[in-house]
Amino acid sequence: MRKITLADIILIILFLFAIALALWYLFGDSPTFEQIIIGFILPVIFGIAIKIAIIETRLNYIEKNIKEGFNRIKGDMNLIKNKLKIKS
């Protein structure tokens, strides 16, 4: 099971806020339709921002691993090159 983070809690609160606005609009006719749309767009945008941050973190980790891998290959190639020069 996944650990609940602060971002998850904020996202849940925003979704509940959007549902409350929709119910308020249906029964109380207080907020305008545009405010209802904004209430539904906010959780979506926040959710997308969370996903982008997670993907960015993963890509940075992969980039670091790729750089380390290429540095190891470079070291191995230099070692092979030095061994070939000595035997020639």
| All structural domains of the chain with their residue ranges | 6-87
d(CA 40, CA 64) in angstroms, rounded, equals: 37
pLDDT at 45: 93
pLDDT of residue 86: 66
Query: What's the rounded Cα separation, in Å, for the pair 87 and 20?
Result: 79
pLDDT in tens, 11-62: 899 999 989 988 888 888 788 888 889 888 999 999 999 999 999 999 999 9
User: Is the pLDDT confidence value at 2 over 80?
Assistant: no
Q: Where does residue 29 fall: left (phi above 0), alpha (psi -120 to 50 degrees), or beta otherwise?
A: left
Q: What span, in angstroms and rounded, lies between the C-alpha atoms of 46 and 41?
A: 9
For the entire predicted model, the pTM comes to 0.65
